Structure 1
C-alpha cells in the first residue's frame, strides 16, 4: 500500500486510530447523557434528545473536543467523569508493533490529536504510548481543530515537515480531507475505529482495518 522509502514523517491520530473509539463513543453517547439526566432529574432518553443536537452543532470545531467547554455548557465535571471510565481506555491491536517498527525505521513519528490536554494526558497515562513519539501535538495549543483551514500550516510552521514525504493516518474523513487540501501526500483512513462498531465503507482514501496492513516494506 505504501512506498515507505517516500515517507520521512509519520503522523498518527489518537482516538479511533491508535485507541479504541469505544471509550469515547460510550462516554459521550451513554455516560454523559446519564449524568446529565441525573443532574436535571429527567429520563435518559430525554437527556439524549436534548444533548444530541448540541453535540452535532459543535462537530468539527475545537469546542467539540474541549472538556472545559462542555463542563461549563453542561454543568458537569467532564474531566472527572472521564477519569471514572478510564478503565475502558484501550489500545487497538497491532498498534504497538507498528509504532515500534516506525521507530526502528528511523522515521519521525508525531502524534497529532484534537483531544483536550486533560484527555490526552489521561490516555497517555493509561497506555504509555508517549514513549514512541518524537512529539505530541494537541490542536488546542494552536486554537484550531485538525478539520479547520489553517491547522496544517500552523503545524508545519511549528514542526517542520515535507508534505510530499508525510503520511497521516486518521479515522476522520473530514480531517483527511483537510490534510489533503493542504497537500499532504500520503493519507490512510481507519475502517474500524470502534471495536464494537460496524466496519466503515471507505472509498475516498486508502483504508485499513488495523496496522498490520501498513507493515510490509517498513524497515
Structure 2
C-alpha cells in the first residue's frame, strides 16, 4: 500500500487518523447540543435544527474548526465542555506502535491538524502525542485549513519537504483531494475513523484499515 523507499516525510492527521473520531463526533453531535439546549431551555432536536445548517455552511473553513468562533456564537465555553468528556480521547488501534516504528525509521513525521491550538493541547495532554512526532502543527497558525491549496505552500515554506516524497494519511476526502492536486506523492484515507461507526467506503484513494498493515521498515 505504501512504497516506503520513496517516502522521506510522513504527514499525519490527528482526529480520525491517529485518534478515534468518536470523541469529536460525540462532542459536536451529542454532548454540546444537549448542553446548549439545556442552557437555552429548548429541545435538543430544535437546537440542532437551528444550528446544523450554519455548521454545514462553514464546513471546510477555519471557522468550522475554530472553538473560539463556536464559543462566541453559542455563548458557551467550548474548550471547558471538551474537558468534561476528555476521557473519551484515545488513540486508534495500533497508532502508537505505528508512530514508534516511524521514530525508529529514517522518516520525518509531522502531525498536521485542522484542530484549534487549544484542542490540540488538550489532546496532547491526554495522549502525549508530542512524544511520538517530530512536529505538531495546527493549521490555525497559518489561518488556512488543509482544504485550502495555499495552506500547502505555507506549510512547505515553514517545514520544507519534497511533495513527491511525502505521504499523507487523513480521513478527510476534501483534504486528500487538495493534497493530491498539490502533488503529494502518496495518499491514504482511513477506513474507520470513528470506532463506533461503520467503515467508510473509499473510491478515489486507498484507505488503511489497520496501522499494522503499513508499518515502515525499522532501522536507518
Q: Which bin holds the TM-score, normalised by the shorter protein? A: over 0.9
**1:3–1:217 Cα contact (<8 Å) kept:** no
Question: CA-atom RMSD, angstroms?
Answer: 1.0
Instruction: State the alpha-carbon separation in 2 of the partners of residues 20 and 145 from structure 1.
Output: 20
Q: How does 1:98-137 map to 2 (within 5 A)?
A: 98-137=98-137
Count of paired positions: 219
Runs (4+) off by over 4 Å? 216-219
Q: TM-score, normalised by structure 2?
A: 0.97
Instruction: String of CA shifts for 1:171-218, please: whole Å, max 9, x gaps.
Output: 001000011111001000001000001110101001111211211645
Instruction: String of CA shifts for 1:67-107, please: whole Å, max 9, x gaps.
Output: 10000011111010001110110100100110011110121
Q: Secondary structure at the match of 2:99?
A: helix
Instruction: State the alpha-carbon separation in 1 of the partners of residues 129 and 118 from structure 2.
Output: 15
Q: TM-score, normalised by structure 1?
A: 0.98
Instruction: State the alpha-carbon separation in 2 of the partners of residues 42 and 139 from structure 1.
Output: 35
- Identify which range, 207-216 or 143-152, moves more after superposition: 207-216
Instruction: State the alpha-carbon separation in 2 of the partners of residues 152 and 7 from structure 1.
Output: 18
Instruction: State the alpha-carbon separation in 2 of the partners of residues 56 and 209 from structure 1.
Output: 28
Partner of 2:172: 172
Instruction: State the alpha-carbon separation in 1 of the partners of residues 17 and 48 from structure 2.
Output: 26
Partner of 2:18: 18
Q: Secondary structure at the match of 2:57?
A: helix
Instruction: State the alpha-carbon separation in 1 of the partners of residues 134 and 23 from structure 2.
Output: 26
